[in-house]
Amino acid sequence: MLPGLRRAAPDLLFRYLSFGGYLQDVFCKSTLRFTSRPRLNDPCDCVVDFDYSKATVSDWRIYYRGVLDKQPSLTRESKRSILRQFLKRRRFLEEDFQSETQLEMQRAADSCAILSLSESGNNARLWKEYAGEGTGVCLVFNTFLLHQSFESSLTKGVPFRVSYIDTLPRLQVPVGRDHDHIERVFLTKTLQWAHEREWRLVLPEQIDEQVGFIDLEFDPKCLIGVFVGATATRENEARIRDWASQAPSPVWVQQVSLDELSPATDLIEGKARCRMSSSVQRIFNFSAGPAVLPLPVLEEAREHLVALPGVGMSILEISHRSKAFEEICYGAEANLRKLAGVPDGYHVLFLQGGATLQFAMLAMNLLPASRTADYIETGVWSEKAIADAKKLGSVHVAGSSKATNHDRIPLQSEIRYSAAPAYVHMTSNNTIFGTQWHHLPDVPVGVPLVNDASSDIFCRPVDISRYGMIYGGAQKNLSIAGLTLVIVREDLVGRAPAATPAYLNYATHAKERSLYNTPPAFGIYILHLVLKHLLAEGGLPAVEARNRRKAAKLYAAIDASGGYYRGHAQPESRSWMNVTFRLPAEELEKKFVAESTAAGLDGLKGHRSVGGIRASIYNAFPEAGVDALVTFMADFARANG
């Protein structure tokens, strides 16, 4: 990967087009037109023109093995032939080799499909140059979904930023290390084009040179909106609105006014739907929590922060006793029941204090003085839960992975329950050590299973009926810090001793439907939006598929590193949410964290209990971020191996 290209792509990217041509197909057929190199406006763009003056024989050997090996138009036999010729003569036939390899690379470049986009949502020059001087349109794309549509691209589906230099992009043969020159060819332009703020997707499609382009399908959800040029005719604007109404996924339409058509104005900020501004550069947040939220949720929250529709007040201001808030609170409960399939006979409670308060509240409600509670110890948070429960009653540790520094989930055969436990407590995912239960422990008949699911709640479909109670802080997969979710079976409510303070009694909150006192209103509101988003995206089966895919990519990179990266968790206990691994030395780990942070990959430093690196990839974490980390890991290992 090229220096300077690791920066995370903007959340939105834009494409300016004149009216007519294939524009209708963008809306109605969900196709985008990729062009070949000769069709680009800069005659020097994607031209292979190497400077060989400083190359040594050793450099050419590196060049052949590291660069030509990647060119799709060279057959295996032709590669071997070139290498045999080089080794046989023991000298470099500079002119012949230059001509042949440069021609081969140019052919490879010319056969690739290129999609050019801009990070500028309102660029007067782009309106003039590419959108018929304001008579055309500016299409608005969700970058993450665009990435998912074209994962087979040379850039792994991730748009890369074009770099601009003050000379022609004349490239030198590598000295000392292999660099991917094909990326330099596609992603380097002269300064005269810097105003375009261009990003590119490059696909290894074989474009017919007579046609010069190829139309490829994309996920309809990629296209979220369109700005119609300020000088577009009413007839053309009406056509755009008609096409947008036929699109498989909702697309907003807004015409730009003449006073908005200036480089100083950001159309996205002023738009009624308030989509995320292209000037906001979001990095990849690998934090263990609070964690990343779905972008559409952030956008909707920002749009309605000042005044909720039909209310005229912010969610930060309205009374929790108002009808408007009750609709939000009860709507969140209804959507949660629908998403998770919560059966009748369970209460859904929205509380405060985090999972940490539940360590004590659970024991206060479900651990009578005459009984014992069984806990399965699998990490720091289960240890804390045990410590608090011991202050309130009798606790038996039924199973533990502490002897191996919590690198695995205990086997069923290793768990020994007490005679008649009041409940069995587990922690389904361990953020610090990177382990996760992928099966439920068998518990004695009639004994409720209680799960602290803070860090993997709703990461996959869940059978609620197998639990007596599930609880968790919402700040990793569901909402923001400050909201705690409790799903508890009805027959377990009302067991608290009479001396239990009202707030710490589940019966209090069940009776008042989470509105006993002022609740975490904003957290419940964000939860409401997240749940709507998850349902619209296909529910928990879709969530599971994405999480499996993301985790598989990251663990594959660790396993394929030849031991350079070493996972902490044993393979059968690996977490989908928190991937923990070590490098050969602590100094390398410090360097890894520093360089990854500078590259826009934030929050990767591991917890002191394990050390090393921890990548938290919760539900809303984008797959593009995983791809970026995998690429960074490969680059770092090559440079520091």
Domain contains 281: no
The alpha-carbon radius of gyration of the chain (Å, integer) is: 29
Q: Are residues 262 and 400 in the same domain?
A: no
Q: Are residues 495 and 577 in the same domain?
A: no
The three-state DSSP-derived secondary structure of 294-324 is: CHHHHHHHHHCCCCCCCCCCCCCCCCCCCHH
pLDDT tens for each residue of 391-425:
999 999 999 999 999 999 999 999 999 999 999 99
* Residue 81: pLDDT over 80: no
Give residue 38's pLDDT band: very low, low, confident or very high (50, 70, 90): confident
Q: Are residues 99 and 180 in the same domain?
A: yes
What is the length of the chain? 641
* Residue 491: pLDDT over 70: yes
Q: Percent of the chain having pLDDT more than 70?
A: 79
Rounded Cα–Cα distance for residues 606 and 554 (Å)? 16
Q: Is 326 exposed, middle or buried (0-12, 13-18, 19+ CB in 10 A)?
A: middle
- DSSP-derived letter for residue 174 is P
Q: Are residues 180 and 221 in the same domain?
A: yes
pLDDT average, residue stretch 225-254: 87
Q: From 592, 566, 593, 594, select the one nearest 580 (Cα to Cα).
A: 566
Q: Are residues 447 and 579 in the same domain?
A: no
Task: Name which of 29-38, 41-50, 316-325 the model is least confident about.
Answer: 41-50
**Could you tell me the residue range of the domain that residue 404 belongs to?**
345-517
Structural domains in the chain (count): 3
pLDDT at 268: 43
Task: Name which of 129-138, 274-283, 420-429, 601-610 the model is least confident about.
Answer: 274-283
Contact 303, 628 (CB under 8 A): no
* Residue 602: pLDDT over 90: yes
Q: Which of 217, 248, 270 is the last residue of a domain?
A: 270
Q: Are residues 462 and 548 in the same domain?
A: no
pLDDT tens for each residue of 320-351:
999 999 999 999 999 999 999 999 999 999 99
Structure tokens at 440: 């439920």
pLDDT average, residue stretch 287-295: 93
Domain contains 66: yes
- DSSP class per residue in 477-525: TTS-TT-EEEEEEGGGTT-S-TTS-GGG-HHHHHHHTT-SS---HHHHH
What is the pairing mode between strands 578-582 and 566-567? antiparallel
Domain contains 329: no
First to last CA, the chain: 17
Domain contains 289: no
Q: Looking at residue 569, which CATH number applies to its domain?
A: 3.90.1150.10
Domain contains 337: no
Active-site residue list: 381, 452, 476
* Residue 71: pLDDT over 60: no
Q: Are residues 493 and 546 in the same domain?
A: no
Looking at residue 97, its amino acid is F
pLDDT at 319: 95
* Residue 292: pLDDT over 50: yes
Q: Are residues 71 and 176 in the same domain?
A: yes
* Residue 80: pLDDT over 90: no
Question: Which letter, b or e, does each residue of 402-423 get, where b requires 16 or more Cβ atoms within 10 Å of its Cβ?
Answer: eeeebbbbbeeeebebbeebbb
pLDDT tens for each residue of 58-68:
555 555 554 44
* Residue 265: pLDDT over 70: no
Q: Percent of the chain having pLDDT more than 90?
A: 54
Rounded Cα–Cα distance for residues 175 and 53 (Å)? 12
Q: Which of 270, 296, 325 is the last residue of a domain?
A: 270
Q: Are residues 629 and 511 in the same domain?
A: no
Domain contains 375: yes
Domain contains 478: yes
pLDDT at 277: 38
Output the average pLDDT for the chain. Answer: 84
Domain contains 536: no
pLDDT at 92: 45
Q: Are residues 507 and 553 in the same domain?
A: no
* Residue 173: pLDDT over 60: no
Q: Are residues 513 and 551 in the same domain?
A: no
* Residue 153: pLDDT over 60: no
pLDDT at 267: 42
The three-state DSSP-derived secondary structure of 403-447 is: HHCCCCCCCHHHCCCCCCCCCEEEECEECCCCEECCCCCCCCCCC
Q: Looking at residue 377, which CATH number applies to its domain?
A: 3.40.640.10
* Residue 472: pLDDT over 70: yes
* Residue 531: pLDDT over 90: yes
Q: Are residues 476 and 576 in the same domain?
A: no
Q: Which of 212, 240, 270 is the last residue of a domain?
A: 270
pLDDT at 181: 55
